[in-house]
Amino acid sequence: MDILTISPYFLAAIFFVVAFTYSSVGLGGGSSYTALMAIFGMSTLAVPIVTLILNIIVTSVGSLNFIRNNHAKLKLILPFIISSIPMAYLGGSLKLPKEIFYWVLLISLIFVAIRIYLWQNTSIKLNLGQKGKIVVSLIAGSILGLIAGIVGIGGGIYLIPLIIILGLGTEKEAAACGAIFIWLNSCSGLLSRLQHNSIDLSGYIPLIVAVLLGGTLGSFMGASKFSPKLMEKILGTVILVAIFFLIKKTMF
Protein backbone atom coordinates (compact mmCIF):
# COMPACT_ATOMS: atom_id res chain seq x y z
CA MET A 1 0.00 0.00 0.00
CA ASP A 2 1.09 3.59 -0.62
CA ILE A 3 2.32 5.77 2.22
CA LEU A 4 -0.90 7.06 3.80
CA THR A 5 -1.33 10.03 6.10
CA ILE A 6 -3.48 7.90 8.47
CA SER A 7 -3.45 4.30 9.71
CA PRO A 8 -4.77 1.82 7.10
CA TYR A 9 -6.91 0.26 9.83
CA PHE A 10 -8.48 3.60 10.68
CA LEU A 11 -9.14 4.08 6.95
CA ALA A 12 -10.71 0.61 6.91
CA ALA A 13 -13.03 1.67 9.75
CA ILE A 14 -14.08 4.71 7.72
CA PHE A 15 -14.65 2.48 4.68
CA PHE A 16 -16.87 0.21 6.78
CA VAL A 17 -19.10 3.20 7.57
CA VAL A 18 -19.10 4.34 3.93
CA ALA A 19 -19.95 0.85 2.62
CA PHE A 20 -22.69 0.49 5.25
CA THR A 21 -24.20 3.85 4.35
CA TYR A 22 -24.03 3.51 0.56
CA SER A 23 -25.25 -0.08 0.44
CA SER A 24 -28.26 0.85 2.57
CA VAL A 25 -29.46 3.06 -0.30
CA GLY A 26 -28.50 0.63 -3.08
CA LEU A 27 -25.10 2.02 -4.07
CA GLY A 28 -21.50 0.78 -4.03
CA GLY A 29 -19.66 3.74 -2.48
CA GLY A 30 -17.09 4.23 -5.23
CA SER A 31 -17.20 8.04 -5.23
CA SER A 32 -16.38 8.22 -1.52
CA TYR A 33 -13.73 5.47 -1.61
CA THR A 34 -12.00 7.33 -4.42
CA ALA A 35 -12.15 10.67 -2.63
CA LEU A 36 -10.92 9.27 0.69
CA MET A 37 -7.98 7.41 -0.85
CA ALA A 38 -6.99 10.48 -2.86
CA ILE A 39 -7.27 12.72 0.21
CA PHE A 40 -5.14 10.42 2.38
CA GLY A 41 -2.27 10.03 -0.06
CA MET A 42 -2.86 6.96 -2.21
CA SER A 43 -1.50 7.16 -5.76
CA THR A 44 -3.84 7.98 -8.64
CA LEU A 45 -2.73 4.71 -10.28
CA ALA A 46 -3.93 2.55 -7.40
CA VAL A 47 -7.06 4.52 -6.44
CA PRO A 48 -9.32 3.56 -9.39
CA ILE A 49 -8.29 -0.11 -9.31
CA VAL A 50 -8.93 -0.48 -5.58
CA THR A 51 -12.18 1.48 -5.81
CA LEU A 52 -13.53 -0.72 -8.60
CA ILE A 53 -12.70 -3.87 -6.63
CA LEU A 54 -14.49 -2.50 -3.56
CA ASN A 55 -17.45 -1.47 -5.72
CA ILE A 56 -17.74 -4.98 -7.15
CA ILE A 57 -17.75 -6.51 -3.68
CA VAL A 58 -20.50 -4.25 -2.32
CA THR A 59 -22.78 -4.30 -5.35
CA SER A 60 -22.55 -8.07 -5.80
CA VAL A 61 -24.70 -8.46 -2.70
CA GLY A 62 -27.04 -5.63 -3.69
CA SER A 63 -27.56 -6.91 -7.22
CA LEU A 64 -28.45 -10.39 -5.98
CA ASN A 65 -30.96 -9.00 -3.49
CA PHE A 66 -32.72 -6.88 -6.12
CA ILE A 67 -32.87 -9.76 -8.59
CA ARG A 68 -34.30 -12.07 -5.94
CA ASN A 69 -37.02 -9.54 -5.16
CA ASN A 70 -37.95 -9.11 -8.86
CA HIS A 71 -37.07 -5.42 -9.02
CA ALA A 72 -34.56 -5.81 -11.87
CA LYS A 73 -36.29 -5.07 -15.19
CA LEU A 74 -34.32 -6.21 -18.23
CA LYS A 75 -35.99 -3.78 -20.65
CA LEU A 76 -34.96 -0.87 -18.41
CA ILE A 77 -31.37 -1.85 -17.74
CA LEU A 78 -30.35 -3.44 -21.05
CA PRO A 79 -29.91 -0.22 -23.11
CA PHE A 80 -27.80 1.33 -20.34
CA ILE A 81 -25.63 -1.78 -20.16
CA ILE A 82 -25.13 -2.08 -23.92
CA SER A 83 -23.79 1.46 -24.25
CA SER A 84 -22.04 1.89 -20.90
CA ILE A 85 -19.82 -1.20 -20.70
CA PRO A 86 -17.62 -0.43 -23.75
CA MET A 87 -17.39 3.23 -22.73
CA ALA A 88 -16.40 2.26 -19.18
CA TYR A 89 -13.69 0.08 -20.70
CA LEU A 90 -12.51 3.01 -22.81
CA GLY A 91 -12.54 5.36 -19.82
CA GLY A 92 -10.54 2.86 -17.79
CA SER A 93 -7.82 2.78 -20.43
CA LEU A 94 -7.31 6.56 -20.39
CA LYS A 95 -4.34 7.91 -18.43
CA LEU A 96 -5.28 11.32 -17.08
CA PRO A 97 -2.89 13.73 -15.33
CA LYS A 98 -3.36 13.77 -11.56
CA GLU A 99 -4.83 17.28 -11.56
CA ILE A 100 -7.52 16.41 -14.14
CA PHE A 101 -8.34 13.22 -12.24
CA TYR A 102 -8.95 15.22 -9.05
CA TRP A 103 -11.14 17.76 -10.85
CA VAL A 104 -13.30 15.08 -12.50
CA LEU A 105 -13.67 13.43 -9.12
CA LEU A 106 -14.57 16.72 -7.42
CA ILE A 107 -17.24 17.53 -10.01
CA SER A 108 -18.63 14.00 -9.58
CA LEU A 109 -18.95 14.45 -5.83
CA ILE A 110 -20.62 17.84 -6.20
CA PHE A 111 -23.16 16.24 -8.56
CA VAL A 112 -23.85 13.57 -5.95
CA ALA A 113 -24.43 16.21 -3.25
CA ILE A 114 -26.79 18.14 -5.53
CA ARG A 115 -28.71 14.94 -6.25
CA ILE A 116 -29.10 14.14 -2.55
CA TYR A 117 -30.13 17.59 -1.33
CA LEU A 118 -31.86 19.20 -4.31
CA TRP A 119 -33.15 16.51 -6.71
CA GLN A 120 -35.00 14.15 -4.39
CA ASN A 121 -38.51 15.18 -5.43
CA THR A 122 -37.65 16.53 -8.86
CA SER A 123 -39.13 14.84 -11.91
CA ILE A 124 -39.39 15.59 -15.59
CA LYS A 125 -42.32 14.12 -17.45
CA LEU A 126 -41.15 13.11 -20.91
CA ASN A 127 -43.70 11.98 -23.46
CA LEU A 128 -41.44 9.33 -24.92
CA GLY A 129 -42.43 6.15 -26.66
CA GLN A 130 -40.50 2.94 -26.17
CA LYS A 131 -38.01 3.84 -28.92
CA GLY A 132 -37.46 7.30 -27.41
CA LYS A 133 -36.74 5.79 -24.00
CA ILE A 134 -34.24 3.40 -25.57
CA VAL A 135 -32.41 6.24 -27.35
CA VAL A 136 -32.23 8.31 -24.15
CA SER A 137 -30.99 5.28 -22.22
CA LEU A 138 -28.30 4.48 -24.81
CA ILE A 139 -26.98 8.06 -24.85
CA ALA A 140 -27.05 8.39 -21.06
CA GLY A 141 -25.43 4.99 -20.59
CA SER A 142 -22.50 5.83 -22.87
CA ILE A 143 -21.82 9.16 -21.11
CA LEU A 144 -22.12 7.72 -17.61
CA GLY A 145 -20.03 4.69 -18.55
CA LEU A 146 -17.19 6.89 -19.81
CA ILE A 147 -17.20 9.04 -16.66
CA ALA A 148 -17.35 5.95 -14.46
CA GLY A 149 -14.37 4.40 -16.23
CA ILE A 150 -12.26 7.56 -16.01
CA VAL A 151 -12.88 8.23 -12.31
CA GLY A 152 -12.94 4.58 -11.27
CA ILE A 153 -16.51 4.39 -9.92
CA GLY A 154 -19.53 2.37 -10.99
CA GLY A 155 -21.69 5.25 -12.20
CA GLY A 156 -24.87 4.22 -10.41
CA ILE A 157 -24.84 7.39 -8.33
CA TYR A 158 -25.67 9.26 -11.54
CA LEU A 159 -27.95 6.65 -13.08
CA ILE A 160 -30.40 6.15 -10.22
CA PRO A 161 -31.53 9.80 -9.98
CA LEU A 162 -31.57 10.06 -13.78
CA ILE A 163 -34.03 7.18 -14.12
CA ILE A 164 -36.28 8.67 -11.44
CA ILE A 165 -36.07 12.25 -12.76
CA LEU A 166 -36.87 11.20 -16.33
CA GLY A 167 -39.64 8.85 -15.21
CA LEU A 168 -38.07 5.80 -16.82
CA GLY A 169 -38.77 3.55 -13.85
CA THR A 170 -39.85 3.39 -10.20
CA GLU A 171 -37.47 4.04 -7.31
CA LYS A 172 -36.96 0.34 -6.65
CA GLU A 173 -36.47 -0.39 -10.34
CA ALA A 174 -33.97 2.48 -10.51
CA ALA A 175 -32.09 1.13 -7.50
CA ALA A 176 -31.98 -2.34 -9.01
CA CYS A 177 -30.78 -0.95 -12.33
CA GLY A 178 -28.16 1.14 -10.54
CA ALA A 179 -26.76 -1.78 -8.55
CA ILE A 180 -26.40 -3.99 -11.63
CA PHE A 181 -25.06 -1.04 -13.67
CA ILE A 182 -22.39 -0.37 -11.03
CA TRP A 183 -21.37 -4.02 -10.88
CA LEU A 184 -21.04 -4.47 -14.64
CA ASN A 185 -19.27 -1.16 -15.28
CA SER A 186 -16.93 -1.73 -12.36
CA CYS A 187 -15.99 -5.12 -13.85
CA SER A 188 -15.46 -3.54 -17.28
CA GLY A 189 -13.39 -0.65 -15.94
CA LEU A 190 -11.32 -2.97 -13.74
CA LEU A 191 -10.59 -5.34 -16.63
CA SER A 192 -9.35 -2.43 -18.73
CA ARG A 193 -7.11 -1.06 -15.98
CA LEU A 194 -5.61 -4.43 -15.10
CA GLN A 195 -4.52 -4.88 -18.71
CA HIS A 196 -2.44 -1.71 -18.47
CA ASN A 197 -1.49 -1.65 -14.79
CA SER A 198 -1.22 -4.02 -11.85
CA ILE A 199 -0.95 -3.58 -8.09
CA ASP A 200 -0.31 -5.83 -5.10
CA LEU A 201 -3.64 -6.19 -3.30
CA SER A 202 -2.23 -7.75 -0.13
CA GLY A 203 -1.89 -4.34 1.51
CA TYR A 204 -5.55 -3.54 0.84
CA ILE A 205 -7.05 -6.58 2.58
CA PRO A 206 -8.26 -4.50 5.58
CA LEU A 207 -10.20 -2.25 3.18
CA ILE A 208 -11.66 -5.22 1.31
CA VAL A 209 -12.81 -6.92 4.53
CA ALA A 210 -14.25 -3.64 5.82
CA VAL A 211 -16.44 -2.97 2.77
CA LEU A 212 -17.55 -6.61 2.60
CA LEU A 213 -18.81 -6.45 6.17
CA GLY A 214 -20.19 -2.92 5.88
CA GLY A 215 -21.88 -3.60 2.54
CA THR A 216 -23.51 -6.82 3.74
CA LEU A 217 -24.80 -5.26 6.97
CA GLY A 218 -25.84 -2.01 5.27
CA SER A 219 -27.86 -3.68 2.53
CA PHE A 220 -29.68 -5.79 5.13
CA MET A 221 -30.46 -2.84 7.42
CA GLY A 222 -31.44 -0.57 4.54
CA ALA A 223 -33.86 -3.15 3.18
CA SER A 224 -35.55 -3.94 6.50
CA LYS A 225 -34.86 -1.31 9.17
CA PHE A 226 -33.78 2.13 8.01
CA SER A 227 -35.63 4.87 6.16
CA PRO A 228 -33.97 5.50 2.76
CA LYS A 229 -34.41 9.26 3.22
CA LEU A 230 -32.58 9.17 6.55
CA MET A 231 -29.72 7.17 5.07
CA GLU A 232 -29.45 9.54 2.11
CA LYS A 233 -29.00 12.44 4.54
CA ILE A 234 -26.21 10.55 6.28
CA LEU A 235 -24.68 9.80 2.90
CA GLY A 236 -24.92 13.47 2.00
CA THR A 237 -22.92 14.40 5.09
CA VAL A 238 -20.17 11.95 4.09
CA ILE A 239 -20.09 13.44 0.59
CA LEU A 240 -19.91 17.04 1.84
CA VAL A 241 -16.97 16.21 4.10
CA ALA A 242 -15.20 14.51 1.18
CA ILE A 243 -15.85 17.53 -1.06
CA PHE A 244 -14.37 19.87 1.58
CA PHE A 245 -11.14 17.89 1.91
CA LEU A 246 -10.82 17.34 -1.84
CA ILE A 247 -11.22 21.08 -2.52
CA LYS A 248 -8.54 21.74 0.07
CA LYS A 249 -6.24 19.19 -1.57
CA THR A 250 -6.93 20.45 -5.10
CA MET A 251 -6.77 24.20 -4.62
CA PHE A 252 -4.35 24.71 -1.73
> 15: pLDDT confidence band, cut at 50, 70 and 90?
very high
Determine which of 18-22, 30-34, 50-54, 124-128 has the lowest per-residue pLDDT on average. 124-128
> 222: pLDDT confidence band, cut at 50, 70 and 90?
low
> 13: pLDDT confidence band, cut at 50, 70 and 90?
very high
Kindly tell me if the per-residue pLDDT of 153 is higher than 90: no
pTM for the predicted model, two decimal places: 0.72
Residues 6 or more apart in contact with residue 146 via CB below 8 angstroms: 87, 88, 90, 91
Count Cβ atoms below 10 Å from residue 182 Cβ, excluding itself.
Answer: 32
Kindly tell me if the per-residue pLDDT of 41 is higher than 80: no
Whole-number pLDDT of residue 219: 76
Whole-number pLDDT of residue 125: 58
Of 37 and 161, more confident: 37
Average pLDDT of the chain to the nearest whole number: 79
Q: What is the mean pLDDT of residues 152-172?
A: 74
Q: What is the mean pLDDT of residues 57-74?
A: 82
For the CA atoms of the chain, what is the radius of gyration?
17
Whole-number pLDDT of residue 209: 94
Asked if residue 55 lies in contact with residue 182, where contact means CB atoms within 8 angstroms, the answer is yes
- Closest to 210 in 3D by CA, of 1, 21, 49, 44: 21
Alpha carbons 174 and 108: distance in angstroms, whole number = 19
Over residues 177-213, the pLDDT tens digits come to 888 888 888 888 888 888 877 777 788 899 999 999 9
> Amino acid identity, residue 212?
L
Q: What is the mean pLDDT of residues 229-243?
A: 71
Kindly tell me if the per-residue pLDDT of 1 is higher than 70: no
Contacts made by residues 240-245, CB under 8 angstroms, sequence distance 24+: 240/113, 242/31, 242/32, 242/35, 242/36, 242/39, 242/109, 243/35, 243/106, 243/109, 243/110, 243/113, 245/35, 245/39
